[in-house]
Amino acid sequence: MWYAQVKIRKRVRYGKSIIFRFAHERKLYGSRRIQEKFGLGPMDKKIGEYWAISAHDNGLSKIKNGKYKGETLKDVYLNHRELFANDPHDKFPLLVKINEIQEPCSVQVHPDDAYARKHEKDYGKAEFCLWLDVEEGTKIIRGHSAKTKEEFRKAIEEKAWDTLFVRKSVHTNEFVYTPAGTIHGIEGKLMMAEVQQSSDVTYRIYDYDRKDANGNMRELHIDQAIKVTNIPHIESDVHPTVTMLEGNEVIEYVNEKYFSVTRYKIQNEIQINNPSYSLCLPLSGNGILHIDGKDYDIQVGIGFIITSHTKRYSIQGNIDLLVSVPK
């Protein structure tokens, strides 16, 4: 596993801010654009997913600075809950990543908490996706046309993909919020930032008859998918709010059951409140994070957490920052 390096201007007092090394995953649908855009990862591998902030066992982030340097986010969360507003979740609740899609992404669905806890010993998965770079003509699959489980199963058995799946065009800087139970997929090429519950449970319904690296057909999960899919399809009703703060555009995309996601397009120095603890992912540009008179360099693509010991922080520079707050 390869880890990025982060340059730190001055050491901030322990527990105020945590900067991470990251994990990456090779995927059939990946490419080398994550390395090219963010300068992260080996160029000899196709990376489909870059897990910027993760305490999930399938891709653990390691801390790059301060008292807990070298430890995983998972361990620090379990042993130092005071840094995370004494969050009652038994496991770290969110995962922040960047995905690169160059081939169709399987049509899939994620279970809710109740089903995932019972059958997978994991969280369910609701997710937010922000399209960062979309090739013209790209479409997402979003929902289905079936009205009953019987109709849904019949369409799958008959492979009636064109009539079963609902397809929608997407463009750069648009977003979707996908609750558990929502059928979704991607047909085309794009890069996206994703905030989700910390779960790696996915049930594939259709995978374009692809084979894995060993030449075997990839596994599908039809029975599980039928059990957890919302039938009929329920479209989430979310609308962003746009405000100006100290001359900077602020877009709150979602404020839902599991998390809120806000984008700060920073051009002037900005003061940001930290209601509990915040997961931050710089999407472009560069800047400086100020906490208690000390400074961090902010590097594009390198995730960091503002812990609950900090109630307010400031950032200056020219930077596009995605901030998620767990609930």
User: Rounded to whole angstroms, what are the CA distances from 12 to 3, 170, 289, 295, 296?
Assistant: 22, 41, 10, 7, 8
Q: Where does a domain end: 199, 228, 257?
A: 228
Tell me the pLDDT of the chain averaged across its residues. 89
Q: In terms of domains, do 292 and 316 share one?
A: yes
As beta bridge partners, residue 67 has none
Q: Tell me phi and psi for residue 83, to 5 degrees.
A: -75, -15
pLDDT at 18 over 80: no
- Tell me which amino acid residue 96 is: V
Residue 2 pLDDT > 60, yes or no? no
Whether pLDDT at 30 is above 60 = no
Task: Give me the sign of the Cα torsion angle 153, 158, 159, 165.
Answer: negative
Greatest C-alpha distance within the chain: 64
Q: What is the pLDDT of residue 164?
A: 98
DSSP, res 234 = -
Cα–Cα distance for residue pair 309/15, rounded to 1 Å: 7
Q: What is the pLDDT of residue 35?
A: 75
Q: Residue 211 has what pLDDT?
A: 83
Structural domains in the chain (count): 2
Please tell me the pTM assigned to this model: 0.90
Same-domain pairing of 163 and 298: no
Task: Give Cβ neighbours of residue 178 (< 8 Å, ≥ 6 apart).
Answer: 110, 126, 127, 128, 129, 184, 236
Residues designated catalytic: 204
Does the pLDDT of residue 212 top 90, yes or no?
no
- How many whole angstroms separate alpha carbon 107 and alpha carbon 161? 10
Q: Which residues, listed in sequence order, are joined to residue 195 by a DSSP beta bridge?
A: 96, 128
Per-residue pLDDT at 7: 27
What is the model's pLDDT at position 10?
29
146: domain CATH number?
2.60.120.10
pLDDT given at position 19: 66
Q: Over the range 144-170, which residues count as b (16 or more CB within 10 Å of their CB) and which as e?
A: bebeeeeebbebbeeeeeeebbbeeeb
pLDDT at 294 (0 to 100): 87
User: What tens digit of pLDDT does each residue of 218-236 get?
Assistant: 899 999 999 999 999 999 9
Domain that holds residue 254: 241-326
Residue 155: pLDDT band with limits 50, 70, 90: very high
Q: Are residues 55 and 149 in the same domain?
A: yes
One domain, residues 57 and 182: yes
Residue 253 lies in a domain: yes
How far is residue 253's CA from residue 243's CA, in Å, rounded to a whole number? 11
Which of the residue ranges 3-17, 169-183, 305-319 would you say has the lowest mean pLDDT?
A: 3-17
Query: Which of 201, 228, 255 corresponds to the end of one domain?
Result: 228
Same domain, 184 and 279: no
